[in-house]
Amino acid sequence: MKTFFNDQHPLHHGRHEMFRGKLVPCVEVPSRADFVLQELRARGLGEVASAPEVDLAPIERVHARRYIDFLSTAWNEWVALDPANAELDALPSYWPIRTFRSDVLPASFPARMGLFSYDAGSPITSGTWPAARQGAACAVGAADHLLQGGRSAFVLTRPPGHHAGHDFFGGYCFVNNAAVAAQRLRDGGVARVAVLDIDYHHGNGTQAIFYERGDVFFASVHGDPHTEYPYYLGYADERGAGAGEGCNLNLPLPRGTGVARWREAMAIALQAIARFGADALVVSLGVDTFAGDPIAGFTLQSSDYLQVGDDLGATRLPTMFVFEGGYAVAEVGVNTVNVLEAFKQRAG
């Protein structure tokens, strides 16, 4: 399996996120990706390539122009507010809910930060944009690898992407790598693309981007949003709209869910993807379903990820994996590579 590794990922290194009235250390740390890289090298998973040179066009296929402009200039604007900000992470403090306007682009940078986000847990740092942009380039590389006949690929990047929507960041995500990849596959001639999101948290950004599309199926197995982040999306009654009616499948599960019930849910998602007639599969691979994850609530064990990879390999679809969450740093490499290696063994 060919890995596209974002070697710019350490440029994104948030210090703090706002959590219940306090600034707490970030859980989405650079070592996450390094542990995965180390593990896949140790186990000889295959070639590790860096991102191809790509312009912003594939990102603009899923993200709003004014949002990309915001992201690419955000750090400079943050420091321009006050030179002392260079030592701080940029976090929003104001949001335009419901009756506020979102058509006006305020001149104030803090106001724009709120317009383009939905939480205060996703710090923008000096290197957030170059890191996120390079991650999207890795997603394009992996999609192009499938378009050229490759059977599988892995995008090893951070920050993650599945919470980022058409024009907003949140949940540690800025550019939606899985969505960029799915759209790239469509633009390259793949008629029907499925995105399967198995991160602990619902992939609200990916769902929203494709919600009214009949050409991209989105399925997600995740913690029940009644109690779990991102709270405001990911319920079972969200089934798609317009041309996308029936092309969205949410399988929320309660906190404490173990591998048996979790695998049943994934099997239901895979059956729906087969019925849809997908020609290629993008897997948003978060391993925060692990029992030891510090911010999540399922109880999968490291060996269970071999079974997950085997289940995915049985689909026989050209498949690309995009790294999302997973915060038990010491185990994140083993858990992730267990999925990939078992996939490879099954799929050949």
The residue among 52 and 256 lying less far from ligand Q9C, judged by its C-beta, is 256
Cα separation, 286 vs 275, whole angstroms: 24
Partner that binds at residue 12, options Zn ion, ligand Q9C, none, CB closer than 5 to 8 Å by kind: none
The residue among 114 and 171 lying less far from ligand Q9C, judged by its C-beta, is 171
Partner that binds at residue 228, options ligand Q9C, Zn ion, none, CB closer than 5 to 8 Å by kind: none
Rounded to a whole number of angstroms, the minimum distance from the CB of residue 73 to Zn ion is 28
Rounded to a whole number of angstroms, the minimum distance from the CB of residue 325 to ligand Q9C is 2
The DSSP result for 228-247, as a single string, is STT-SS--TT----GGGTT-
Q: Residue 274: CA atoms inside 13 Å, Cβ hemisphere, count?
A: 10
Partner that binds at residue 197, options Zn ion, ligand Q9C, none, CB closer than 5 to 8 Å by kind: none
* Measured distance between the N- and C-terminal CA atoms of the chain, rounded to whole angstroms: 10
- Assess 286 for contact with Zn ion (CB under 5 A): yes
Cα separation, 219 vs 198, whole angstroms: 9
**Structure tokens, 326:** 């997973």
- Assess 230 for contact with Zn ion (CB under 5 A): no
Judge whether 323 and 160 are in contact, CB under 8 Å: yes
Catalytic status, residue 163? yes
Task: List residues binding ligand Q9C (CB under 6 A).
Answer: 19, 121, 160, 163, 171-173, 199, 201, 229, 286, 288, 295, 324-325
Rounded to a whole number of angstroms, the minimum distance from the CB of residue 29 to ligand Q9C is 13
CA distances from 20 to 23, 24, 84, 119, 120 (A): 8, 9, 25, 12, 10
The residue among 144 and 228 lying less far from ligand Q9C, judged by its C-beta, is 228
Cα separation, 297 vs 299, whole angstroms: 7
Instruction: State which amino acid sits at residue 64.
Output: A
Partner that binds at residue 295, options ligand Q9C, Zn ion, none, CB closer than 5 to 8 Å by kind: ligand Q9C
Q: Which residues contact 264 (CB under 8 A, 6 or more apart)?
A: none
The residue among 223 and 309 lying less far from Zn ion, judged by its C-beta, is 223
- Assess 288 for contact with Zn ion (CB under 5 A): yes
Cα separation, 278 vs 215, whole angstroms: 9
- Assess 199 for contact with Zn ion (CB under 5 A): yes
- Assess 202 for contact with Zn ion (CB under 5 A): no
Partner that binds at residue 238, options ligand Q9C, Zn ion, none, CB closer than 5 to 8 Å by kind: none
Strand partners, 17: 24
Rounded to a whole number of angstroms, the minimum distance from the CB of residue 47 to ligand Q9C is 26
The residue among 112 and 163 lying less far from ligand Q9C, judged by its C-beta, is 163
Q: Which residues contact 306 (CB under 8 A, 6 or more apart)?
A: 338, 339, 341, 342
**Looking at the chain, which runs of residues are DSSP E strands?**
2-5, 16-19, 22-25, 48-50, 152-156, 193-197, 216-223, 248-253, 280-285, 319-323
- Binding marks (x or -) toward Zn ion, 321..340, rule CB under 5 A? ----x---------------
Rounded to a whole number of angstroms, the minimum distance from the CB of residue 75 to ligand Q9C is 21
Of the residues 163, 201, 202, 222, only one is catalytic, namely: 163
- Say which residue the tokens 């250390």 belong to: 25
The residue among 109 and 305 lying less far from ligand Q9C, judged by its C-beta, is 305
Residues taking part in catalysis: 163
Q: Which residues would be at the binding site for Zn ion (CB under 5 A)? A: 199-201, 286, 288, 325
